[in-house]
Structure 1
Amino acid sequence: MAAVAGARRVLAPLALAQFICSFAGSNMNVMINDISKDLDTTVQGVQVAITVFLLVMAALMIPGGKLTDKWGRKRCLVAGLSVYGVGAVLSAAAPGLGVLILGNSILEGVGTALLIPPVYILTTLLFTDTASRARAFGAIMAMGGIGAAAGPLIGGLITSAISWRAAFVFQALVIVVIVALSRGLADPLPPDPARPFDTVGAVLSAAGLVLLVTGILAVDNNGWLALGLLLAGALVLAGFLAWVRGRERAGREALLSTALFRDRTSNLGLVTQNTQWLMLMGVSFTVAAYLQVVRGYDAVETGVIFTAATLGILATSLAAGRLARLHTQRGLIMTGFVVTISGIAVLLALVAWKPGAWAFAPGLLLIGLGLGVMLTPSVNVVQSCFPEARQGEISGLSRSVSNLGSSLGTAVAGTILVSGLSKGAYAAAMAALAVVGLGGLTAAALLPRTARPAAPGTATAPPPGASQQ
């Protein structure tokens, strides 16, 4: 019993941290009309704020993961929570879109990039066997999935009862609770202040990702500008890889080791992670915008409709430990994609056939069930491919890839949607997400048929400059 209680004390702040960050990524979807009217902006303006938040997370997650080795995992967690809390308070008081972007998109994004890598590193280090780690990741991913799926409902209730600004006050209060719960959290590895940090690599990686997603956002307004941004992003990322290789050849530690990309299983797992979050955030933004702008539903009605997805994610994520004992990780991920794609198909078919709000429930439930099945095994596949010495790097890369998927989901689906809400763009956006899902299913099918044993406990030589126990 003492061990169970101790595990719960460790998991509580970590799971809540994942919840509030996922909540922040989706709760604004039901505030589109309220924020745009109050701040005298447009639907596209709010979409930019949402996407920039997700983009900042994706761009800074790799440097954030690397800093955990230098500053310590718990210290990064608390620092990230503090920055996030300041951003939430600033967003609540925002007089215009610019301040909202500063508070929500920038500060909350930076805070998330600092606090999320420690969540996954600490979980991997503290839960060493496959079954306990699957249960721990199941709880964390369940809270993340609930935050993303229930964000519209909670945000809608708060917005309708009080104001959209109160939703940011709610975030700040949750941050205070997490900081209090984190006081008893122990860091299993000591920080290494002398460890070098690749500043040039951090700037190049962040700039490349920013240019890439900005290019996607610009497609609707200026095709040539979008093409230029996409090409620039690709060139900067190529330069980042060249820089990393150069530092490694010189015997210096780089921001991201190229060894992380030599593991086929990890690479495929990263693809499935990116695709899952792309689909989740893309569906969330598309359905929420369609319900409010085209159907005229208010924030509460929109949030209630999303309850079906929340229940689906909750049911399957909490069963992650049991599912991991009964099925291979490959089988769970493939099943998740099949169910999620089927949910999108049902959503399109029933919404076209029956205009009532209930028509959204079956499809959203299937999407929630499918995502809940595969979120945990995808994370476990990637994290378990590497030893303790690589957990900072792979956690940052893993979260960056996932959050890049989130920002791409909002950017791609949102760009299609706002280009013609009344001209079948809803169906086009959902169909595009289903096609992306097929790509994720293909990657999952290429994973090994048997689960790989957990690696964090293996004895391997640490990379240059790595702290040792």
Structure 2
Amino acid sequence: MLFKSPARAAESHPKQPPGAVPKPAAPWVLLSLSLAMLLSSLGISITNVALPTLAQVFQVPFQAVQWVVLAYLLAITSLIVGAGRLGDIVGRRRLLLAGIGLFTVASVLCAAAPTLGLLIAARAVQGLGAAILMALTMALVGEALPKDKTGSAMGLLGTMSAVGTALGPTLGGLLIGAFGWQAIFWVNAPLGLLTFLLALRYLPLDRPGHQTAWASFDVLGTLLLALTLAAYALAMTVGRGSFGSLNAVLLLAAVVGAAMFVWVENRATSPLIRWAMFSQPVLSAGFVMSALVTTVVMATLVVGPFYLSGALQLDAARVGLVMSTGPLVAALTGVPAGRLTDRFGAHHISLVGLMAMVMGSALLALLPVAFGVPGYIIPLGIITAGYALFQAANNTAVMSDIRPDQRGVTSGLLGLSRNLGLITGASVMGAVFAFGSAATDITTAGPQALAVGLRTTFAVAAGLILVALAFAVGSQSHSKRPVRP
């Protein structure tokens, strides 16, 4: 063979350990992982803009068509931890390639779906592929790149996630207008194929120890966790903001499922989650902080449109333009945030990011409506810049010192904490906004009521970030304590 891929060359080179990636391949490794992250985030944001069109095409109510989005999010939330653990067992490169292929094929099935039911089913399969992508991209950073470049890589992945979130609504609208709703799924086919080919060629080969040891995979624990998380996600999302008897039953099912999961894991020979992991203060605090921070980020997406349209009287186009400020700032800040993490350390940058988020949340809670659009954009920019700093630093801190055989499940847990924060933020922070505005129907609330709702929401948000700050300081001081003999 005249030309070997970097992964194959690394395997055969006598001076390099098995699976090592030569330095010239590092940019290509980052590109393939970044495209994988872009695919999964684009899959979330690009479909929201298509919901009104899908309701008309399939002649169904909006509540039914919402499942096109919900099925995808449920699949990711329920399966991301199991996908990470499976990658630890069978090999992360192998499973990531399967995930990219599954995501791409499911995208084609979505585009070809003749009925809403089949479209929702295909979206659930696409969500399974996205769960694999989200769980394993960060895990592969530790294998494919030097440790002193981890922060930069995490920053780049955060940037690609933000780009996918920001690009989705605009790209989706253009594609639907030009080619119809199917185009938002067809676009994933060439992008998925490119990602697959790059990953196949440049990602490091799985270590020889990786085997298809299905017997060591905790099937019962994975199933219980998936059902528990699905019940919680449904409890937080069905009912469109109202909490009824169905939500209560689902929440009770989630509590019972969590108790059963803990009982099963304590008796499993090869558990899905090893509780000893949470004895590491940086790791356990990282998961909690990630959930708290993403709860606040979700508040900007849920509350913002109502405030901008109702209190500031902006039309839909200007609301979309103002809302895109957040993802744009996050995209521009992601790579510098990663470099700052590599230079100054994850703990310091994490603190800076959290303090910026407290400042931005406090400004939104204090500034009067008279400040207009700048009074919303400036605090929003501070919040999202702080989020980008925190995300790059926290991801680096959590993933840096993990045992190689635990990288997949740890990355999956980190992704799960973010998803739980997003789901909780959409429901809880939406309820706080409604409570603060004292309106029975948010859509008909007056400007002053919406302004009070916004201030209440971000006063709570500032409190949540202060709790995250306490976890950051506490975990660092605890990790520095000398271990008693």
Name the structure 2 match of 1:438. Answer: 463
What's the CA shift for 1:9?
0.7
Superposed CA offset, 1:296-343 (max 9, x none): 855x65554343223311222111233114544233223323433544
CA distance in 1, matches of 2:385, 2:404: 32
What's the CA shift for 1:37?
3.5
Amino acid at match of 1:166: A
Bigger Rg over Cα: 2
Name the structure 1 match of 2:11. Answer: none
- Are positions 1:393 and 2:413 aligned together? no
Q: TM (normalized to structure 1)?
A: 0.83
- Are positions 1:64 and 2:80 aligned together? no
Name the structure 2 match of 1:90. Answer: 109
Name the structure 1 match of 2:237. Answer: 217
User: What is the Cα-based RMSD across aligned positions, in Å?
Assistant: 3.3
SS of structure 2 residue aligned to 1:446: helix
CA distance in 2, matches of 1:297, 1:39: 28
Q: Decide whether the 8 Å contact of 2:151 with 2:342 is kept in 1.
A: no
**Which ranges of structure 2 fall in alignment gaps of 5 or more residues?**
1-20, 435-439, 481-485
Name the structure 2 match of 1:422. Answer: 444
Shift in CA distance, 199/427, structure 1 to aligned 2, threshold 3 Å: farther
How do 1:304-343 residues align onto structure 2 when only pairs under 5 Å count?
304-343=321-360
SS of structure 2 residue aligned to 1:318: helix
Shift in CA distance, 284/31, structure 1 to aligned 2, threshold 3 Å: farther
CA distance in 2, matches of 1:443, 1:286: 21
SS of structure 1 residue aligned to 2:347: helix
What's the CA shift for 1:62?
1.1
CA distance in 2, matches of 1:421, 1:172: 38
What's the CA shift for 1:269?
0.5
CA distance in 1, matches of 2:113, 2:367: 39
Please point out which of 7, 10, 14 is paired with 2:29: 10
How do 1:10-159 residues align onto structure 2 when only pairs under 5 Å count?
10-104=29-123, 106-129=124-147, 131-159=148-176
CA distance in 2, matches of 1:41, 1:350: 42
| Further displaced range: 358-367 or 132-141 | 358-367
What's the CA shift for 1:353?
3.6
Name the structure 2 match of 1:462. Answer: none
CA distance in 1, matches of 2:26, 2:277: 29
CA distance in 2, matches of 1:158, 1:41: 22
What's the CA shift for 1:199?
0.9
Amino acid at match of 1:266: L
Shift in CA distance, 74/188, structure 1 to aligned 2, threshold 3 Å: closer
Shift in CA distance, 325/100, structure 1 to aligned 2, threshold 3 Å: same
CA distance in 1, matches of 2:376, 2:444: 18
Amino acid at match of 1:111: G
How do 1:241-256 residues align onto structure 2 when only pairs under 5 Å count?
241-247=262-268, 252-256=269-273
**Which ranges of structure 1 fall in alignment gaps of 5 or more residues?**
454-469
Q: Decide whether the 8 Å contact of 1:283 with 1:430 is kept in 2.
A: no
Q: Decide whether the 8 Å contact of 1:57 with 1:110 is kept in 2.
A: yes
| Further displaced range: 305-314 or 405-414 | 405-414
Q: TM (normalized to structure 2)?
A: 0.80
Amino acid at match of 2:468: A
Superposed CA offset, 1:339-383 (max 9, x none): 335445656777944776x77543442333122111111111211
CA distance in 1, matches of 2:353, 2:463: 11
Shift in CA distance, 201/333, structure 1 to aligned 2, threshold 3 Å: same
